[in-house]
Every structure is written in structure tokens, then in C-alpha cells.
Amino acid sequence: MSINEPFGERPPSWIELESVQKMPVVEKITSLSGDNLRRNYSRYVVKLSPRRDGMKLKHALAIADGTVPPIPPAPRD
């Protein structure tokens, strides 16, 4: 599934939801920067190679929808 394909036409299939999208695609879906995604949603970031990250489409859509809370900040001593 590419970012050029409209999401509103039909809901993504389960296989599309499980697909890992490159970080530039996730940035467009969520309207968040890659650094922000890595910092606040690191549990959903997948390493594609040593220099490239991605995220499952289902997690990117949940972040964009607001149903996934960010990781709470670590307590300060």
C-alpha cells in the first residue's frame, strides 16, 4: 500500500495493517516527525536496517487517530 492510495476508499485489509511502512510514509500519516515518533512511540518503531526505521500501518493509523498514548516520561530523581 502506498501513501498515494487513498485511505478513505476502503478500509485496509489485515495484511495491509500488518505491513511495515517506511518512516517517511508514517510521518505523512501521523503528521509527526520521525524524531517525535522515535521518542514518544519507540515501542512501535521497527528497525528495517541500521539506518532506517519503519512502523506497522496499524500502529501509525492508531497514533494518527489518537487511540495510542505516547510512552510516559521517565520519573526524575
pLDDT grade for 5, boundaries at 50, 70 and 90: low
Residue 55 pLDDT: 96
Tell me whether residue 70 is in a domain: no
Tell me whether residue 42 is in a domain: yes
Grid cell, residue 55, equals: 512502523
| pLDDT of 25 over the 80 cut | yes
| pLDDT of 16 over the 60 cut | yes
Tell me whether residue 75 is in a domain: no
| pLDDT of 7 over the 60 cut | no
Tell me whether residue 57 is in a domain: yes
| pLDDT of 20 over the 90 cut | yes
Grid cell, residue 57, equals: 500501518
Tell me whether residue 72 is in a domain: no
Tell me whether residue 30 is in a domain: yes
pLDDT grade for 4, boundaries at 50, 70 and 90: low
How many structural domains compose the chain? 1
- Side-chain-facing half-sphere of 60: CA atoms under 13 Å: 29
